A and B are shown apart, each in its own frame.
Chain A
Amino acid sequence: AQSVTQLDSQVPVFEEAPVELRCNYSSSVSVYLFWYVQYPNQGLQLLLKYLSGSTLVKGINGFEAEFNKSQTSFHLRKPSVHISDTAEYFCAVSGGGSNYKLTFGKGTLLTVNP
């Protein structure tokens, strides 16, 4: 079985401040990790994903995430946020097997204030 825990349900920050959204996972097999973003009244879109190789993954809009196997974490970071980054962010894991199953965390609402 696989699961995802997003440690913060809401993260308020000021514009131009750095932000880290935390994600921990559990899986009994190799993992593939994803971060999706949902802007208000829209569907989800992929920010970045970790499949293998370098543990630091860069995504769209200046976001990056680091895969840490020993801590079973995949935290999302941005050095300087903008008002337009206000959205809900979902961490997700796929753990392999013959059938694809993507398990999502409960989401973190990032609110960027002026």
Chain B
Amino acid sequence: DADVTQTPRNRITKTGKRIMLECSQTKGHDRMYWYRQDPGLGLRLIYYSFDVKDINKGEISDGYSVSRQAQAKFSLSLESAIPNQTALYFCATSETGTSMTDTQYFGPGTRLTVL
């Protein structure tokens, strides 16, 4: 079984709809991250969480919110989806340690299309 899972894997929705993307991990890591990937732009950090009570904005948090329901679960919400949020979304985890050197472990991604 995969260590980091994301649901759904694919989603098509309409402008204005509320969408939640879910991430679960069995690695026992404290730190979790949400990124979006756009062609030619690489990965950009949306939000990150160092533990259940710690949530931080990344470089492109506008239009998104997150919830850390438990150590193993980190959800990303789009309150009112818009077409330029069409992208591939990745969840990642890392261990608590020397923060700058942690390896991040990625889920398989969720492909979101907003019409």
Residues of A whose CB lies within 8 Å of any CB of B are 4, 9, 32, 34, 36, 41-46, 49, 51, 90, 94-102, 104-107
Question: Are B100 and A106 touching (Cβ within 8 A)?
Answer: no
Let me know if A102 and B104 touch, CB within 8 A.
yes
A44 and B101 contact, Cβ closer than 8 Å, known pairs A102-B45, A104-B42 = no
A96 vs B90: C-alpha distance in the bound complex, in angstroms? 23
CA distance A96 to B104 in the complex (A): 15
A106–B37 CA distance with the chains assembled, in angstroms: 9
CB distance from B11 to the nearest CB of A (A): 16
Asked if A44 meets B90 with Cβ closer than 8 Å, knowing A106-B42, A107-B42, the reply is yes
Chain B positions within 8 Å of A, measured between CB atoms, are 4, 31, 40-45, 48, 50, 56, 58, 90, 92, 94, 99-109
* B98 → chain A closest CB, angstroms: 9
Contact A100 B99 (CB under 8 A): yes
Chain B residue nearest to A90 in the complex (CB)? B42
Across-interface contacts of A51 in B (CB, < 8 A): 101
From B48, B92, B100, A94 is in contact (CB under 8 Å) with: B100
Q: 4 tightest CB-CB pairs across the interface, nearest first?
A: A43-B106, A100-B99, A104-B42, A106-B42
Q: Is the CB–CB distance between A104 and B109 below 8 Å?
A: no
Q: Tell whether, in the assembled complex, residue B103 and residue A46 are in contact, meaning their CB atoms are under 8 Å apart.
A: yes
CA distance A104 to B43 in the complex (A): 6
In the complex, A73→B55 CA distance in Å? 33
Query: Are A43 and B107 also in contact (CB < 8 A) when A90-B42, A102-B45, A105-B42 are?
Result: yes
Contact A94 B42, beta carbon cutoff 8 Å? no
